[in-house]
Amino acid sequence: MRITVLGSGSWGTTVASVLTRRDHESLIWARNEATADEINAKHSNDRYLAGFPLPERLRATADLAEAAAHAELLVVGVPTGAFRDTLELARPNLHPWIPVVSLSKGLERDSLLRMTEVIKEVLPGHPAAALTGPNLAKEIMAGMAAATVIATEDLTVATEIQRIFRRGLLRVYTNHDVIGCEVGGALKNVVAIATGIAQGLGVGDNTRAGVISRGLAELTTLAVAMGGEPATLAGLAGMGDLVATCISPHSRNRHVGEQLGRGRSLADILGEMGQVAEGVKTVHAAVQLADRHGLAMPITRTIHRVVTGEITALRAYDGLLRTLPAGHESEPG
């Protein structure tokens, strides 16, 4: 199958590599022409995946029209802030009805839409799916075992995409609960910032475990309020992705939180990263969704106050010393 991956970051490049090794004719679109040239000539992407050789059969282009026209399956791995614009630019050259799979974990800031909802708005008639789960790019490139979820309401489409992506130690599951899968993938980045702050402050593993557990309760509450199923958040797209993102040194969102916990400014942290930490943007939309559904979501709201500069990371953890008693574990807070 001819597959196009839009986005040459670490995850987009990894997915394109996996698909190429499954003997698909994969083409990756890079916004930067120098990156496309490097992939074609040197079979590497040193900015995002230094030290990992790419398949020689993997091709790259900086021409979005060429990339779109090539696709019998379109995979979109650009940051959420560029997701809609990229699809709109690709639309004139796409074949009709081809499935579109989102790799991007976040929410559109102004509309508060999930990425599959953006796909449906921009590309009506195209089946929309999300690939999500605990998928750290460098571990998959290193050949380590991993599990992922392809989420779409039409399980016939999901099963076909599952067949396309499955390879070696990458185990691909299907799930019909797109809301639960996408909310889990988006909100876990916010919780990872909180967990990173705990790491940076050196407040202990008990605290980090508490933040992860209560964070899972928050993202489950929001997902269910939006129409998702609670069981989904106990699986790969919820707890699995949350744990990986909160504990891994490869996690960009955890890194942002850790540096905030050490007293650095958000602008300095993001300026040196050269990559997008989706949780920084997602938290704005998450707070608005919490307001819409009348949810407390204290961790999310606290990280929003940190990101906006209202309070420091240290001040955020003063909340752990609140004198109000904790309620039932099933309740927020």
Position 141 in a domain: yes
- Tokens 């976040």 locate to 106
Q: What is the pLDDT of residue 331?
A: 73
Q: Which parts of the chain have pLDDT scores under 70?
A: 319-325, 332-333
Residue 7 annotated as binding site: yes
Sign of the dihedral defined by the CA atoms of residues 244, 248, 252, 257, in that order: positive
- Are both 190 and 138 inside the same structural domain? no
User: How much is the pLDDT for 320?
Assistant: 54
Q: What is the pLDDT of residue 134?
A: 96
User: Is residue 221 located within the same domain as residue 294?
Assistant: yes
pLDDT of amino acid 333: 65
Flag whether 244 is marked binding.
no
* Residue 330 within a domain: no
Whole-number pLDDT of residue 329: 76
The H-assigned helical ranges of 166-295 are 178-201, 205-225, 241-247, 252-261, 266-273, 278-293
What is the rounded CA–CA span in Å between residue 251 and residue 19? 23
Q: What is the CATH number of the domain that holds 266?
A: 1.10.1040.10
Among the listed residues 42, 120, 138, 188, the single catalytic one is 188
Residue 224 annotated as binding site = no
Within a domain: 165: yes
Q: Is 120 a catalytic residue?
A: no
Residue 106's nearest CA partner among 75, 128, 134, 83 is 83
- Domains in the chain, number: 2
pLDDT in the model for residue 332: 64
Residues 257 and 317: their CA atoms lie apart, in Å, by: 12
Q: What domain range is 42 assigned to?
A: 2-176
278 annotated as a binding-site residue: yes
Do 9 and 73 have their domain in common?
Answer: yes
The strands making up 100-102's β-sheet, listed across from edge to edge, are: 59-61, 25-29, 2-6, 73-76, 100-102, 128-132, 146-151, 170-175
**What distance in Å separates the CA atoms of residue 290 and residue 271, rounded to the nearest whole number?**
29
Structure-block tokens of residue 215: 């964070």
Say yes or no: 190 and 147 in one domain: no
Instruction: Determine the pLDDT at residue 276.
Output: 78
At 203-262, the pLDDT tens digits run 888 989 999 999 999 999 999 999 999 999 999 999 999 999 999 999 999 999 999 999
What pLDDT score does 323 carry? 44
Tell me: do 192 and 61 sit in the same domain: no
Tell me, yes or no, whether 221 and 135 share the same domain.
no
Q: How far apart are CA 133 and CA 147, in angstroms?
A: 7
Same domain (yes/no): 216, 137: no
- Annotated binding-site residue? 104: no
